[in-house]
Amino acid sequence: MSSSVFELLASFTNPIEIGTDPISMLWMFPLLAAVALIYKAVQLRVMFMRKYFREVFILFVSISIFIVLIGIVLHAVVYFMTR
Amino acid sequence: MSKNNSTDHSFFLVIVGLLSWIVPGAGHLIIKERKRAAVIFVTITGTFLTGLHIGSVGIVNPEGAPAWYAAQILVSPLVFIPAGITKRSKHSGDLQEMHKYDVFGHPESIGQIYTSVAGLLNLLCILSAVYMAHSGRGELIGEEEDE
């Protein structure tokens, strides 16, 4: 096996560094994309690719906006409760 | 439906379900849903590997995090491999080896969420493949066509 394959396998033996800052919240977006891709893949009766990706995009944006709004509301609640 | 046909049909559904578990998307492939199968394979495998890359093999921990493991195992039986690596390291007896794959904080939680969500999404795909096979997809409407 070449060294690059070993390097690739080794990358799965050590966790990557993720700080406890607000930037780490961005990790939710790839997961939301995965949820949207799978949900639409099992929901659509026939897979027309253009329609599929349009629906995935709409679902992804809808969930993202909703989660961001919930985040803002919760942040405001915490702000008013602790000031 | 005769008894023989009914047995064959049930056996086919079991095969579709098992294939979907062994390789994400394979159940859809066998019922001629190629695009769906490709999307499922790439998404499930990609999500699981991303989680494994974020948190390392240490996040697949059957003894330390059994609830997460129950969801992770739904991705594929291949998850037994990282589980075995973690388990063997924990039982090695050597202190350094025992903590070799320990992972804490955000990498642990984000990695576990990614890998477990991949497993739960695959469960949805397994059910979808079995339902489609049961309702005769691939036979009733023919192969999928593009616009």
CB contact at 8 A, B71 and A33: no
pLDDT in tens, B28-69: 999 989 999 999 999 999 999 999 999 888 889 888 889 999
Amino acid code (one letter) for B77: P
Q: Locate tokens 């690596």: which residue? A: B85
Has residue A4 been placed in a domain?
A: no
Range of the domain at A57: 24-82
Residues 6+ apart with CB under 8 A from A67: A28, A32
Whole-number pLDDT of residue B63: 87
Band (pLDDT 50/70/90 cuts) for residue B137 is: confident
Band (pLDDT 50/70/90 cuts) for residue A7 is: confident
Residues 6+ apart with CB under 8 A from A14: B56
ipTM of the complex: 0.87
Task: Provide the residue count of chain A.
Answer: 83
**Cα–Cα distance for residue pair A82/A76, rounded to 1 Å:** 10
Has residue A36 been placed in a domain?
A: yes
Query: Which chain A residues touch B138 with a CB distance below 8 Å?
Result: none
Has residue A6 been placed in a domain?
A: no
Compute and round to an integer the Cα radius of gyration of chain A. Answer: 19
Count of the separate structural domains present in chain A: 1
What's this model's pTM, rounded to 2 decimal places?
Answer: 0.87
Whole-number pLDDT of residue B147: 47
Of A14, A46, A52, the CB nearest to B56: A14
**Cα–Cα distance for residue pair B14/A76, rounded to 1 Å:** 50
Chain A nearest C-alpha distance from B57 (Å): 6
**Cα–Cα distance for residue pair B104/B108, rounded to 1 Å:** 5
Has residue A11 been placed in a domain?
A: no
Task: Give the best residue of B47, B59, B88 to mutate against chain A (max A CB count within 10 A).
Answer: B47
